[in-house]
Amino acid sequence: MRVLSTLACSAAMGLLCLTTGCGGAEEQALLPEQVKDFDRLFGENCSGCHGPDGRNGAGPQLNDPLYQALANKEQLQNVISKGRPGTPMLPFAKSAGGTLTDKQIEILADEMQKRWSKPDQFAGVAIPPYTAATAGDVQHGALVFRIQCLACHGVEGRGGPIAGAITDPSYLALASDQLLRTTVIIGRPSHGMPDFRRSGKPIAPQDISDVVAWLVSHRAQPASLSAAAPAKGGTAQQ
C-alpha cells in the first residue's frame, strides 16, 4: 500500500509540474483580441511593412518625429482602422474586416505618438497640413517639380542619378494621394530624401498640393474613367 501511495503521489506531482511549470511563472494564454502589449501588436501587424522598429520597411517610416508631428493620434487611428483603399495598406479594424479591436488600434496610435514624437523639435515650425483642403494645380505642380525634385528624380520624374522614378505607373498604382503628400512633407530620411524644409527653404503648402496633383496626373486611369477625367487640376487629398 505504501508503494501504491508513493506512486500516486509521484503521479500527482508530475501532473502538477505539467500544469504549473514546476514552480515557474504560469504563462497565461491570451486570445488575439486580448493582446494589449504595443511591441507585440506592432510586431505582428505593422513591422512587416514598416520595419521592426518603425524604420527601414517598404512602407512609410512611422518612427519619425516629423511624421508623428504631421499625423495626430486620430489620423493614425483612422489609417490603421480603414487602411488605404487601392494600396497594400489594408484595414485592420474588425468593423472593416480586419483583426484588431478599437482598443488595440488606440494602443498602437497612442504608443507611436508617445514613443516616437518629439514635439520640442518643431516648436515654431509651420508644418503643412496633413491633408489638403483644395485640389492642386497640375500645371504649376510641373514647375514645382522642376525646381524642387528634378535634380534627384530626373526629367519628368522618370528617375535620375540619385533617386528612382516616381511617375512610373506601377509605383503610382500602389501609392495613394496621401502617401505622395506625406512623402513630400516628411521626406524619406533612410534614403537621403530631405523633408519639406529643404535646407532652410521650405516648400509652401500650396506648392506641395500642386506637385502632388502633378504626380497623380501620371497615374494610369481606367479606360471607363479616362473620358471623364478633368483636363486641369488635381484631386483633393484623401
Who has greater pLDDT, 209 or 26? 209
- 32 CB-contact burial (10 Å; exposed 0-12 / middle 13-18 / buried 19+): exposed
Report the amino acid identity of residue 215: L
Q: What tens digit of pLDDT does each residue of 33-42 get?
A: 999 999 999 9
- What's the rounded Cα separation, in Å, for the pair 158 and 215? 11
> What is the arithmetic mean of pLDDT over 53-82?
93
102-116 and 73-82 helices cross at what angle (nearest 10)?
140
Who has greater pLDDT, 83 or 57? 83
According to the model, what pLDDT value does residue 222 have?
64
Q: What tens digit of pLDDT does each residue of 116-140 get?
A: 999 999 999 999 999 998 889 999 9
According to the model, what pLDDT value does residue 56 have?
85
Reply yes or no on whether the pLDDT at 227 is more than 70. Answer: no
Q: Are 93 and 100 in contact (CB under 8 A)?
A: yes
Reply yes or no on whether the pLDDT at 141 is more than 90. Answer: yes
> What is the arithmetic mean of pLDDT over 63-79?
95
Reply yes or no on whether the pLDDT at 161 is more than 90. Answer: no
Work out the mean pLDDT of the chain and round it to a whole number. 84
According to the model, what pLDDT value does residue 152 have?
92
Which residue segments constitute the domains of the chain, with CATH numbers given? Answer: 32-122 (1.10.760.10), 138-226 (1.10.760.10)
Q: What tens digit of pLDDT does each residue of 170-195 get?
A: 999 989 999 999 999 999 887 889 99
According to the model, what pLDDT value does residue 81 have?
97
According to the model, what pLDDT value does residue 189 have?
81
According to the model, what pLDDT value does residue 4 have?
41
Who has greater pLDDT, 99 or 56? 99
Q: Confidence class of residue 18 from pLDDT cuts 50, 70 and 90?
A: very low
Write out the three cell numbers for 64.
519619425
According to the model, what pLDDT value does residue 29 have?
82
Reply yes or no on whether the pLDDT at 9 is more than 50. Answer: no
- 9 CB-contact burial (10 Å; exposed 0-12 / middle 13-18 / buried 19+): exposed
